[in-house]
A and B are shown apart, each in its own frame.
Chain A
Amino acid sequence: MKFTLSWLKQYLDTNASLEEISEKLTALGLEVDGIEDKAADFEPFKVAYVKSAEQHPNADRLRVCQVETADHGIVQVVCGAPNARAGMKAVFAPSGSYIPGLDVTLKKSEIRGVESNGMLVSEKEMQLSDEHNGIIDLPEDTKIGTKLADLFGLNDPIIEISLTPDRADCAGIYGIARDLAAAGLGTLKPLDTTPVKGSFDSAIGVKLDFVDKDNTPCPLFLARYIKDVKNTESPKWLVDALESIGVKPISPLVDMTNFFSYAYCRPLHVFDADKLQGDLRVHLADGGETLMALNNKKYTFEKGMTVISDDSGVLEISAIMGGKDTGCSKETKNALLICAYFDPVRTALTGRKLQINSDARYRFERGIDPAFTVPAMEMATKMLIELCGGEPSHVVTAGAVPDITREIEFDMAKTKKLIGLDIPEMTQVEILEKLGFTVSKKGAHYLVKTPSWRGDVEGQADLVEEVIRVYGYDHLETLTLEKTTATNKEAETHKTWLGRKARSVLAARGLLECVSWSFMDEKMAAVFGSNDNALTLLNPISEDLKHMRPSILPNLCQAAQRNADRGYANAALFEVGPVFQGVKEDQQPLCAAGIRFQKAKDKNWNEQARAVDVFDVKADLFAVLETLGFSPDNVQITRNVPDYYHPGQSGAVQLGKNVIGYFGVLHPLTVEALDLDGDVVGFEIFVENLPEKKYKGASKPLLTLNPLMPLHRDFAFIVDETTDANAVLVAARFTDRKLIAGASLFDVYQGKGVEEGKKSIAISVTIQPEGEALTDKDIEALSQKIIAEVGKKTGGVLR
């Protein structure tokens, strides 16, 4: 919302400075976004007299002028303008001033060997117009030293505020003046709402055609026929006023409606009465009607939208936009002025459905002052006649003024309770009354009646806000919120803890944490298994951010490729964030996912280069499991993986039937879909699928140290090449749960010495004696048991 200081002062009698007004606006909740003060910007530019203009010795088109200035004495200026001549009054810009149209700050210079100080400027260079045929040429009697801003009427600062959606009353400058007056920054001037006498009955009538008369979208509709108008050109003051706030002047009838919108938050409409057929009817659309609107777009109405029609069809989208065919033009001779009240809710819904943003919709949907409808009709008639002449009819009235005011029982102790300040009741009453509320005593409390322009005030809390807003938020105390308990039960939730631990361990393992979009390309989502339309945004910002991600891997892979493309290969990336399996709360689990791309190691003096492989990410996954309190020894590795993984080089980690995560090489088709240039391995852990362990107190189980040394025995078994190494390890490990503390794999071999289709698996078993040392015989017996068990479980034969 933009307005000029002088426009504001038409309604507010004040001596306050621009700065005071600006500060008060912000303090009232009408946040000042910016102030454009041309007078300050144009301060250096003043009228000067060109004493002489001689031909430049070295350039045909340049003249060397001696310029008499107000502040700099006689100054030499080299000027290229064709109209530069001795004896003229021009505008001088001194060295050091900033020329907005050229975006330069002037410096003393030499032009083709002749010194030049400052310049004589054109309107274009000052961004006053596009005029650039010559420098500004002023009447001879213009006084030297007159400010440019004064000459062009630019002394009026433009204030822009950002208006919160509750404050419809301040969508008009008069409302802003009222707020400032309430805050003690002057007096609100009354409006002249003297009725204008009509001399005949309007040829056009109005009918409110609604079935549900108690709940109509248009409770009040006023119209007035004005004959013999001349819609030619608006006066300068109106043109300047509209232009200053960025509204394009069109014709007096249109400019007037815009003026009322901005000045009083009172949208109007003017029909060309000669283009209407029969009476006006305000009604709900049947559906399917169409209208070419003033914005040159054709709209089709849904059943139930509020429209205005005549015998020919729909003329206007109520409260939003008029039709092109019945609008006013320079030729308009007879006008029909409309001033009506429309329901905010239905205006908002229709506007949103039709996707029309107009000044009228903006105001009606926030809620204008219904009580102002009748006075506004009189003020508008008066202005219309002043601008265009003509003779008004009697006002045609359909419906009655709706009462949107409320009576709120206000316990002023609530103010202290909510904001902690002791504001005397008298002060609170005074503030509310200045804002237009009517306050009366009701027992120990007050009865506060809201003004008709404050539909946003609904209850006590709103009244408290009105009081503190005017009283000043800067009075608020700064108090400490005392801690109520010594311990904080959930300073971190289990989920927060899972995420933090996973992030820490992955970053410590050398992966960089990313935060990537929760949505992705639909096709890519399908590659990663999500074909669910329920997860596609209805209004995505772009096609590649359309579908809620089923997996974090594609985002990471694409990021790794982008990095490689700019010369940074071998990315190791991870992210901890949500993935989406459905719209329900439990279908948006937290996932820790990571990838390693291209090479695990570059070639170096110490090692061969090595491409990433499945065991890199298996290690990452295991590290996360371990840091979250789960031993990798206790999970099962299966081949239950989604299709986007390589079927032979990937695995799922399960705790019973519960899938915790996946790891492995991505499927070649996935790599192709992602357009990746190199090997890629990835892992995903659904950390919330890990069962939450019951907290057993901070105390750890007692540590008992075994005094007996552990022993190690190595075995090599020949098994089928399809046998999982882990099966051998598990068989050995659990041959004797008491004595065997662990088994590790130290060699896998296929080739010479091992039969085709077989492989050799060498393991080392750790034996931990309990209580007494083992004899050679005991160890031999245990070894035999291990060999037998491995044979039984895997078919392995001791090599």
Chain B
Amino acid sequence: MLNKALEKTRRLSPNTTMSNFAELKTELTAQIQAANDLEKLEQARVHVLGKKGKLTEQMKTLGSMDAETRKTAGPALNAIKEEITALIKTQEDGLKRQAMAEKLSKETIDITLPIRQEKKGAIHPISRTIEEMLTIFADMGFEVREGPDIEDEWHNFDALNIPEHHPAREMQDTFFMPSDENGKKYVLRTQTSGVQIRTMMNEKPPIRVVVPGRVYRSDYDMTHTPMFHQMEGLVIDKATHMGHLKGTLKAFCEAFFEVDELPIRFRPSFFPFTEPSAEVDIGCSRKDGGLKIGAGDDWLEILGCGMVHPNVLRNCGIDPDEYQGFAFGMGVDRLAMLKFGIPDLRTMFESDTRWLSHYGFDPLDPPSTSKKKS
């Protein structure tokens, strides 16, 4: 560029002091290029472009030139100034980069040092399972209801068509509490079904609810713990029948176990609060000690259900000739074990941090009804 400018000057006015300019430019360029740090570069800049700089001095002479000379000298000098300015900028950038590189090279640290400690929390698989179940049932239009763990005998037994002498009342290995000052008897609820009663007494059909919660039975071995979790379902309206019950449970099991088609089998059974009653099996295969849900030639018992017993409806002030519906109850802990491959029920309640970390869930990954990948 510089050369081009000089060419131009030369061409325009061969008689001017072109050779002087060229010399000047060469000298200035050398000075700038010789500056090997920012301080020296600044000195060079002042030397060239400062108030008394060489180039500035030259520019000042333009005024005293005759018009003809100035016509060629002016642009030539300006061109030199521009190019020198650009050169200084380029030199400055280079020096700055060089300085930064030097500085950075001294700042290297060991990036393999560990991060600052942070504890990693997790959601218990039982909570996770309840949330997943509620998500699925919400999708089917079920609402949630809850009730107390310490329940009175009427709600836990009598209202559910389990009279005092009934073998079922002993069958369930109830934990009994002392009676209160009015002689009212309390138990730890053996099932979440008491909340059915509360719901039917407080609300009018149509009713469609699920009830998660802790339940208690006096039993402690490989497959039983004195406290576990249940989820109860209740639908009351005028036309819901056992076919809907089967469809609802099939849809739930398919969503919960994330399989597209799950064989489901109803077997007659007995619960005092339902009639007809059924136990429900889902298809599975047991091979090489492993259990796979969905496919196969075997059955796995998963829950109990039935049409709400007319006596239960009556006990809640609902006319069994007008209204009917179904109820089901499933073990949350067992579903969690099946879905997540947890081998021992008792470990659920042991609070071993290794177990909690391993089987627990990320709190930032809430359940959804979408099928998981892979």
Contacts and interface: CB of A to CB of B under 8 A. Distances in A.
B21 interface: no
B357 to A, nearest CB: 7
A538 B174 CA distance: 10
A772 interface: no
B122 A507 contact: yes
A573 B351 contact: yes
A626 B248 CA distance: 38
Contacts of A459: 275, 310
B44 interface: no
B270 A541 contact: no
Nearest to A491: B138
Contact of A578 (B171, B214, B226, B240): B214
A352 B172 CA distance: 13
Interface in A650-704: none
B176 A538 contact: yes
Interface string B149-179: 1100000000000011111101100011110
Nearest to A596: B119
Given A483-B140, A517-B226, A473 B216 contact: no
Interface stretch (A190-198, A323-331, A463-471): A463-471
Contacts of B144: 490-493, 496
Q: Is chain B's interface secondary structure helix, strand, loop, or mixed overall?
A: mixed
A492 B138 contact: yes
Interface stretch (B57-65, B94-102, B260-268): B260-268
Contacts of B250: 478
Contacts of B206: 484
A568 B356 CA distance: 12
B150 A607 contact: no
Contacts of A27: 267-268
Nearest to B126: A515
Interface stretch (A226-234, A286-294, A580-588): A580-588
B23 to A, nearest CB: 57
B367 to A, nearest CB: 10
Interface in B128-148: 131, 134, 138, 140-148
B149 A518 contact: yes
B297 interface: no
B276 A465 contact: yes
B141 to A, nearest CB: 4
Given A500-B131, A516-B349, A478 B113 contact: no
Contact of A164 (B120, B269, B350): B269
Given A474-B265, A607-B116, A344 B165 contact: yes
A165 B167 contact: yes
Nearest to B212: A496
Contact of A165 (B126, B168, B208): B168
A775 interface: no
Contact of A477 (B165, B219, B247): B247
Contacts of B175: 537-541
Interface in B255-293: 264-270, 275-279
Given A164-B269, A503-B363, A517-B227, A510 B121 contact: yes
B119 A417 contact: no
A512 B148 contact: no
A556 interface: yes
A518 B275 contact: no
Identify which of A345, A478, A573, A607 gathers the most chain B CB atoms within 10 Å of its CB: A478
B66 interface: no
B12 interface: no
Contacts of A568: 353-354
The size bracket of the interface on A is: 35 or more
B105 interface: no
Contacts of A534: 177-178, 180
A577 interface: yes
B204 interface: no
Identify which of B243, B276, B277 gathers the most chain A CB atoms within 10 Å of its CB: B276
A165 B166 contact: yes
A507 B123 contact: yes
A31 B144 CA distance: 33
A409 interface: no
A563 B226 CA distance: 22
Nearest to A30: B268
A461 B310 contact: yes
B134 A572 contact: no
B138 A537 contact: no
A34 interface: no
B246 interface: yes
Interface of A: 26-29, 31, 164-167, 344-346, 348-349, 352, 365-366, 417-421, 459-462, 464-465, 468-469, 473-474, 476-481, 483-485, 488-493, 495-496, 500, 503-519, 533-542, 545, 548, 555-556, 559, 562-563, 566, 568, 571-573, 576-578, 580, 583-585, 588, 601-602, 604-607
8 contacts: A166-B270, A468-B268, A479-B244, A493-B146, A513-B121, A515-B348, A516-B349, A585-B148
Given A469-B276, A514-B356, 14 more contacts: A29-B268, A31-B267, A164-B270, A165-B166, A365-B165, A417-B324, A420-B244, A421-B243, A462-B275, A481-B208, A504-B123, A513-B127, A515-B124, A573-B356
Interface of B: 113-114, 116-124, 126-127, 131, 134, 138, 140-150, 163-168, 170-171, 175-178, 180, 186, 188, 206, 208, 212, 214, 216, 218-220, 226-227, 235, 239-244, 246-248, 250-251, 264-270, 275-279, 307, 309-310, 324, 348-354, 356-357, 360, 362-364, 366
